[in-house]
Amino acid sequence: MNREKSEKLFIEAEKYIPGGVNSPVRAFKSVDMPPVFIDHGKGAKIYDVDGNEYTDYICSWGPLILGHASPVYFEGIQEALQKGTSFGAPTAIEVEVAKLITEAYPSMEMVRMVSSGTEATMSALRVARGYTGRDKIIKFEGCYHGHADGLLVKSGSGTLTFGVPTSSGVTPGTAKDTLVATYNDIASVKALFAENPGEIAAVIVEPVAGNMGVVPPDLDFMKELRAITEAEGTVLIYDEVITGFRLAYGGAQEVLDIKPDMTTLGKIIGGGMPVGAYGGRRDIMATVAPLGGVYQAGTLSGNPIAMKMGLNTLTYLRDHPEVYTEMEENAKLLEAGFKANIEKTGVKAQMVRFKGMTCCFFTDVPIDGYAAVMTSDTKAYTKYFKSMLDAGNLMPPAQFEGIFLSAAHTKADIEKTIADHYQALKKL
């Protein structure tokens, strides 16, 4: 496959942009090759600047649940653009989006729009601290919650891929308030509560871990987490930036049937535009300025164009619940096909699936948490990634990321990918 134009662009990009990219995993550095530069996408397909077509299993890392350039996103956008792109004053559409989100997530009695997932988690933590008057928070090793200082401690996603789970530039003063527990291990949480009595403002968790590959939650662990935080007066934050409107319309909290105190959202709620949101119990959200003393603001928050694309997407998802059943069917198909290939070829790998979220790990250690994930053979993943790319499948360019499906992926797309997966495994 010829990727000459991408290669040239990357050399040029590296002169002006750190690593040639505006977000680290895009660099394809961990899979040891220059990245593909994208020209456009349509449905489940993405096209690079050299004209190569790939079935896209990244989908912008989650936002594009209806695939690329779906007309659904764009309905009424021309008219909205003509009215103006930003006012720095409230608009009716913000109320509509807030209403839709609070209806889908009953635990979010009030919601504030921001411009990214990072802003959402960062703000939610500030609110939890303001509400409780406590300093410390608990997060889980391998969970990624964006790049705010206090959350770049034993983090996931690109931080794992590039070996900087705790970023430099995070001061010891900040890091000391971030306590780290082990995902799916309630004893590790209990120990931190015992060591820091009355000091923990919040526990933030990905209800289905999606930034160390995909690690399904243990239901008892999640239930106990709810019980402990409730008993301790600690704010339980579900970071549903990936799972929100993806796992189900009502997110992981609907699937697990557990009500967190606060929730963070991102990705899908902007329909491909830069949007995030945080919200929760009314008494907690009442601490946010101008109602209360926790300050949080944004010039472009609730941007009318972003809100319109978000509203279009969410309304479509609300009215088409079959999107979720079809995506899960496709995830099951992918799981069964990949599993069969792994058995046939004898490669040390396994498929993990939780509803529509899947990941192919190159290890035979059962995936129940961070330690198991870290036994994966990243060199094997690199070879596999390249074979898949050359066969026309854009997989996440790192082992520690999940596969993202969209409503635009067809059974035929999945079947071709399964056949390519077999060939890729055979070459390992």
Q: Which of 242, 273, 349, 414 binds ligand PMP (CB under 6 A)?
A: 242
Sheet holding 276-280, edge to edge: 110-114, 276-280, 262-265, 235-239, 200-205, 136-140, 178-181
Q: Of 129-137, 176-184, 203-211, 361-369, which part binds ligand PMP (CB under 6 A)?
A: 203-211
162 burial via Cβ count (<10 Å: 0-12, 13-18, 19+): middle
How distant, in Å, are the alpha carbons of 43, 59, 210, 417 from that of 333? 19, 18, 20, 11
Q: Is 146 in the site for ligand PMP (CB under 6 A)?
A: yes
Q: Which of 44, 202, 215, 241 binds ligand PMP (CB under 6 A)?
A: 241
Q: Is 206 in the site for ligand PMP (CB under 6 A)?
A: yes
Q: Which of 107, 121, 303, 312 binds ligand PMP (CB under 6 A)?
A: 121
Instruction: Give least dist CB 217 to ligand PMP, A.
Output: 13
- Looking at beta carbons only, is 41 or 158 nearer to ligand PMP? 158
295 is catalytic: no
Q: Of 182-190, 236-244, 317-325, 402-410, which part binds ligand PMP (CB under 6 A)?
A: 236-244
Spatial separation of the C-alpha atoms in residues 250 and 317, rounded to whole Å: 10
Site for ligand PMP in 92-111 (CB under 6 A): none
Site for ligand PMP in 52-81 (CB under 6 A): 61
- Looking at beta carbons only, is 237 or 424 nearer to ligand PMP? 237
Q: Which of 34, 43, 67, 266 binds ligand PMP (CB under 6 A)?
A: 266
Residue written as token pair 């330690």: 371
**Contacts by 315-324, CB closer than 8 A, 24 or more apart:** 315/100, 316/66, 316/72, 317/65, 317/245, 317/249, 317/268, 318/100, 318/104, 318/249, 320/407, 321/249, 323/65, 323/66, 323/407, 324/248, 324/249, 324/356
Which helix (H) or strand (E) covers residue 7, if one does? helix 4-16
Instruction: Give least dist CB 247 to ligand PMP, A.
Output: 12
Q: Is 117 in the site for ligand PMP (CB under 6 A)?
A: yes
* Sign of the alpha-carbon torsion through 246, 249, 253, 257: negative
Q: Which of 144, 245, 316, 370 binds ligand PMP (CB under 6 A)?
A: 144
Q: Of 52-60, 77-85, 142-150, 163-171, which part binds ligand PMP (CB under 6 A)?
A: 142-150
239 is catalytic: yes
267 is catalytic: yes
Q: Is 150 in the site for ligand PMP (CB under 6 A)?
A: no
- Looking at beta carbons only, is 67 or 251 nearer to ligand PMP? 251
Spatial separation of the C-alpha atoms in residues 46 and 406, rounded to whole Å: 13
Q: How many residues bind ligand PMP (CB under 6 A)?
A: 17
Q: Is 211 in the site for ligand PMP (CB under 6 A)?
A: yes
> Is residue 393 a contact partner of residue 417, using CB atoms and an 8 Å limit?
yes
Q: Is 145 in the site for ligand PMP (CB under 6 A)?
A: yes
> Is residue 278 a contact partner of residue 121, using CB atoms and an 8 Å limit?
yes
- Looking at beta carbons only, is 130 or 207 nearer to ligand PMP? 207
Say how far residue 420 (Cα) sits from the centre of its chain.
26
User: Nearest-CA neighbor of 404 among 241, 172, 234?
Assistant: 241
Q: Which of 267, 308, 355, 386 is catalytic?
A: 267
Which residues neighbour 315 within 8 Å (Cβ) at sequence distance 6 or greater? 100
Q: Is 178 in the site for ligand PMP (CB under 6 A)?
A: no
> Is residue 286 a contact partner of residue 292, using CB atoms and an 8 Å limit?
yes
What ranges in 148-250 are assigned the alpha helix state H? 158-161, 172-175, 186-195, 219-232
Q: Which of 55, 91, 116, 382 binds ligand PMP (CB under 6 A)?
A: 116
Q: Which of 239, 261, 413, 420 is catalytic?
A: 239
- Chain residues binding ligand PMP by CB under 6 A are 61, 116-118, 121, 144-146, 157, 206, 210-211, 239, 241-242, 266, 276
Which sequence positions are flagged as catalytic?
A: 144, 239, 267
